[in-house]
Structures are given as C-alpha cells and as structure tokens.
Copies of this chain bind each other. A is one copy, B any other.
C-alpha cells in the first residue's frame, strides 16, 4: 500500500500487528482516529500504555490485579477453599460472567504443550502446589479446555496433587445447552454417554 505520510504509515504498521487486524482494517482505524479530537486519541493511547505499565499479577493466583492481590483473592466472601484452575485471564472472566462460581482461581498462563516448547516449568504450577500444600484448599476444579494439551495438563496436575488430601474435579463436558445431538461431534457425544449422570443429579437450567 502507498502512504503519502510516514506518520500514517507507522500508525498503520503498529495497528496491523494486532491479531486479526490487517492493513486495510488498520488504515480504516487510523482514518477514524484522525477524525477524533487530539485529546481523545491521547486518552486512547495513554489507557493502553498505562495498562501495560501498571498492570500487576496477583501473587496468589496469577490473575491480573491493579495492586499485589486481585479483587477475587482479597474478597473474603468467596470460598478460598475451592480453587478453579484455568488457562488464562480470559477464562477467569468467562467464568465470572456466569455468576455461578463463588470460589477463587488459579491462572496457569497456558497449558503444557511440548510442541510449542511449553513445559510445566513455564507455567504457574509450583505456586498451585504450594497453595494446596498450605492445607486450606479442599477442592481443585480443572476448568481447562478439553484439547490434547489440556488433558495432558490435567493429567500432570492430578499426578502432582495426588498425595494431598484434596478433591480434584473437572468441569462437566457434554452436549451444550441448546445444542442438538445430531450436530455434536462424535467425541463429545461418546463422552457424554460414557459420563452419563443419574437423573437425580441432573441440575435443570435455572434450578
């Protein structure tokens, strides 16, 4: 693409580094920003730089926080004995949005993936073991994506945790609510039959 201005070219290059944003979209965003007041654009840039500069990660769970300990870990109305292990911050937000979980989290920062060079040492795993070792944790819920890497991570964690008096669970997997059986993939359908529940354990939506 030909740019008649180096300033615009730089801004387009930076914006097109973002995932899912190509040069054409970046140019559209730049032309939009050009039409905004200078103060607005400064607010935009500052908010992003300030976030990166000042963000901290919770010493306990690895979630993002504005100071040393995140708002979930420091909230004493939440069950500190139930720890939900997730891959990343986005998963924390997804679960928080359901408003169905009243425990705390542990953010691994990824899953074990030898192909990508991510072993257990690259993840926030030792801190999880240390939390369990302290003795206050009663249940560890594995809320990790059901991929090969996710399952490997769950298997690894369960081996590391097996000598502690802690209950280990995983989130239920099966046919999504509103999903139709005939469109489910075979693996999901097969597992949902294998892991069938007694009807009295079935929690109706909204119950």
Measuring CB to CB, which residues of chain A are less than 8 angstroms from any residue of chain B? 1-8, 10-11, 13-15, 17-21, 25, 27-34, 36, 38, 41-55, 63-66, 70-72, 88-90, 92-93, 96-97
Contact = CB atoms under 8 A, between A and B. Distances in A.
A3 B65 contact: no
B55 A34 contact: yes
B47 A5 contact: no
Contacts of A70: 4-5
A99 B31 CA distance: 22
A117 to B, nearest CB: 15
Contacts of A89: 31, 34
Nearest to A92: B4
B15 A25 contact: no
A116 to B, nearest CB: 14
B93 A55 contact: no
A25 B10 CA distance: 22
Contacts of A15: 44, 48
A44 B55 contact: no
A92 B20 CA distance: 25
A49 B45 contact: yes
A33 B52 contact: yes
B25 A63 contact: no
A64 B4 contact: yes
A51 B33 contact: yes
A4 B48 contact: no
Given A3-B93, A64-B5, A38 B18 contact: no
